[in-house]
Amino acid sequence: AKDSKFDVSSLLSIFGKNKDDMMKEETVIRIALDELIPTIFARTLPDEILNRQTIQGFQFAYSKFLFDKDLNPYFELGEFEFSLKEIRAY
């Protein structure tokens, strides 16, 4: 039987166009919860809406995949790291 607890939708946003954009000393990124794109396994879910009461966590990912079989043209193989100074919800 398929374990459905991992088959949940995610809400995504894309920021930074390349490593140079993200290598600045400090970058402020604002992503409104209402602007997040609902997906599951990199496929968009146009009828899905965010229920703020069901948010259980968040993660940052540097992925070669975008949405609906598109690849991230800015993805580069190799090490990637960033420091998170502050996070707020709005």
Mind listing the pLDDT tens digit for each residue in 59-90?
A: 888 888 888 888 888 888 888 777 788 887 76
Mean of the per-residue pLDDT values of the chain: 77
Structure tokens of 13? 């946003």
Structure tokens of 81? 């790291």
Backbone angles phi, psi at 54, to 5 degrees: -105, 5
The residue type of 61 is A
Asked if the model's pLDDT at residue 55 lies above 50, the reply is yes
pLDDT at 2: 47
Bigger pLDDT: 82 vs 2:
82
Q: Where are the alpha helices (DSSP H) in the chain?
A: 19-22
Percent of the chain beyond pLDDT 70?
A: 79
Q: Give the mean pLDDT of 11-31.
A: 70
Backbone angles phi, psi at 20, to 5 degrees: -60, -40
